[in-house]
Structure 1
């Protein structure tokens, strides 16, 4: 009887750990603020703000707009043409920055216009 309880306990612990390890909400965990230098309607060229970790990677970052939600200051969806050079934006991404010049973010979930 005790062996059965121990086996069930071990299996239960294993299942809980497996489910926790598989939990991936698909949301970005990384973000930074920057200034739009260029908008070519498929990518943005952004200069990260002073003091950000992203600025340590590069002073310019190309952000892919494929599958990216674009929002204004009121969290309403906007078109890519609504993002103008000189605007401050918040970039939410997967944490991966390709080391090139300019650096590249290929998986960006959300870009929010801040001003």
Structure 2
């Protein structure tokens, strides 16, 4: 994923596009905290096996390092949107670069009825 990410971010930085929205789903899979595995107290014992990547995995380390080296500055050619169900798993350096974090909560019973 690092070569692909490098290629897309490089393409956007060179200004060959009029603008690019890059959506990365499940960003915690490769942008997890580099300080170790953080498991919430309510997580099941097998939850650490849910991701194919470990924060000690060299791939995860290099992906996070590359991502952090290419972000943090305003850009008119790139809007980066990260999605995760586990914000607490993201590296704090990634979280600190987020300009507009938006939380989408699950709808309550009344909201579900209104949707139906």
- For normalisation by structure 1, the TM-score amounts to 0.25
Task: Name whichever structure is richer in strand by fraction.
Answer: 1
- For normalisation by structure 2, the TM-score amounts to 0.25
* Structure with max Cα Rg: 1
Q: More relative contact order in 1 or in 2 (CA 8 Å, sep 6+)?
A: 2
